[in-house]
Amino acid sequence: MNSLYRPWTCKLLIFPGLGVLMGCNQPGPEFQKAAADLPKIKSEIQAAGISLDLKDLQPKIRPEEDAYPLLESALKAETAFRKADNQFKIPHKLDDKEWLKIPEKELPALVPYLDQVIRATQRPKVDFRWDWATKNPAEILFPELFQLKLISRWLGLRAVLLAKSGKTAEALVQLRAAFAISDYVQQTPLAIHYLVGIAVEKITGSAALHAASWAGSDRQFNDRIIILLQERATLPNPNASIFKSEIAFASTTFRDPKNLFDTEDFLSEPTQPDWAKDPIMVDAYHGRILKGFFEAIKIMESGKSNLQILAELEKETERQSDPRDPVNAIRDELALDYGGMWASWMSRQTLHVLRSASIELSAMWAKTGKAPRDTTALGNRYVDPYSGQPIRFVKKGKLFVYSVGENQKDDGGAGKGGLDDMDILVPILNPNP
């Protein structure tokens, strides 16, 4: 237990969508005041046009728009997909001919499901048949999410294999379908769905990069991949709408404290913690959660630059995590991180830019037979979202393009292919491996 907390018994609590609370069994004056502030906080939120009811998030989808009837068979084929997926280990080696023989062997069993998914993605929306009026909001969080992620992975693998065999038009269909799955997942505007959607986006982006590499000098295919990635990079940031939905989720959850449960019971039957039996403590935590999201939304909608917003969100997370205040519902190292959500979106955009540039350089390599030595040939077409300057080039055994990343410092390509405190790298793949 943190020594800065009052010396009463404390317990960690988790509830989906929001993160971790520190609950204690004796409410002090800080809890009394925070509980008394709850009606005012709710009033301010509602005055801003933000709903406190999860039912208001239920999508309105016409039957002819709904992809669910066409997705259902693939969603229920979890055993088939997991059996195929278990035949190889992550990380995927999409540039390795020998490694690709493994998914190629497993793919035929999944083709009927993947083809059905492709047909489904011709429809713009999905009604996942969740009960938005459910007593326990946690029930809407996890169904089908990770199966969709698995399906998108196999669409990406199929795209790489098709591009390798010269069937580039079919490969492009797989990639478009996988990106459509990311959109489907994010149609439910809650944090867990958003983060799974980002993961699907990154998996598919990697598959697109390797599919372009295997296509070699097929300039038309490469150009289409670049256009697809650039379209994804210009999608609007959904963070504010997600946080507004999290307010509705939190408010609905707190209406019945039985929806709150201890971490040790997360995978078993939920157990109500002792503090949840005290209405003062419930209201105190409820108000602090709502207030934190509301302040984050104001920052996101301030119209400032991405980096300014990111910095302010990180400060807000620190403020909500100050251990000197026992009512602080957000714990810095365990809970939903306001800045982390925003940074995840920036990382996604950055990877799309870097992969587009990598594909173009790889295509030039295929055409000339000469490996690139810098990014001069790209001009100023690919700008680093973190620095506002052209992306950078480095040779570290292999060739990479990179972004300076969240710390906004050029660390010479010292980083990983994803969100990192240092640089964000994407390889320039050899078109003739």
- Spell out the domain ranges in the chain: 10-55+241-343, 64-232, 353-427
Q: How far apart are CA 218 and CA 168, in angstroms?
A: 8
Range with lowest mean pLDDT among 194-198, 209-213, 275-279: 275-279
The top-scoring range by mean pLDDT among 122-136, 157-171, 414-428 is: 157-171
Question: To which residue do tokens 């400032």 refer?
Answer: 304
111: pLDDT confidence band, cut at 50, 70 and 90? very high
Evaluate whether 335 touches 319 at the Cβ level (below 8 Å): no
Q: Does the pLDDT value for residue 419 go beyond 50?
A: no
pLDDT of 4: 26
Q: Express each pLDDT in 298-311 by its tens digit.
A: 999 999 999 999 99
Q: Does the pLDDT value for residue 10 go beyond 90?
A: no
Question: To which residue do tokens 């069993």 refer?
Answer: 109
Q: Among candidates 348, 350, 391, which has minimal Cα distance to 372?
A: 391
pTM of the model: 0.86
Averaged pLDDT of the chain: 85
Q: Express each pLDDT in 245-263 by its tens digit.
A: 999 988 988 887 777 765 4
Q: Which residues pair with 398 in a beta bridge?
A: 396
User: Which carries the bigger pLDDT value, residue 3 or residue 391?
Assistant: 391
Evaluate whether 352 touches 233 at the Cβ level (below 8 Å): yes
Q: Express each pLDDT in 332-381 by its tens digit.
A: 434 567 888 888 899 999 999 999 999 999 999 988 899 999 999 999 99
* Residue 376: both structure tokens together: 């001069």
Evaluate whether 386 touches 396 at the Cβ level (below 8 Å): no
Q: Hey, CA dihedral for 226, 111, 197, 50, is it positive or negative? A: positive
Question: To which residue do tokens 């295997």 refer?
Answer: 214
Crossing angle of the two packed helices 168-186 and 111-120, in degrees rounded to 10: 60
User: Which carries the bigger pLDDT value, residue 208 or residue 413?
Assistant: 208
Q: How far apart are CA 417 and CA 92, in angstroms?
A: 14
pLDDT of 23: 45
- The residues near 84 (Cβ < 8 Å, ≥ 6 apart) are 103, 106, 107, 109, 110, 154
User: Which carries the bigger pLDDT value, residue 66 or residue 22?
Assistant: 66
Kind of pairing, strands 398-403 and 415-416? Answer: unpaired
329: pLDDT confidence band, cut at 50, 70 and 90? low
11: pLDDT confidence band, cut at 50, 70 and 90? very low
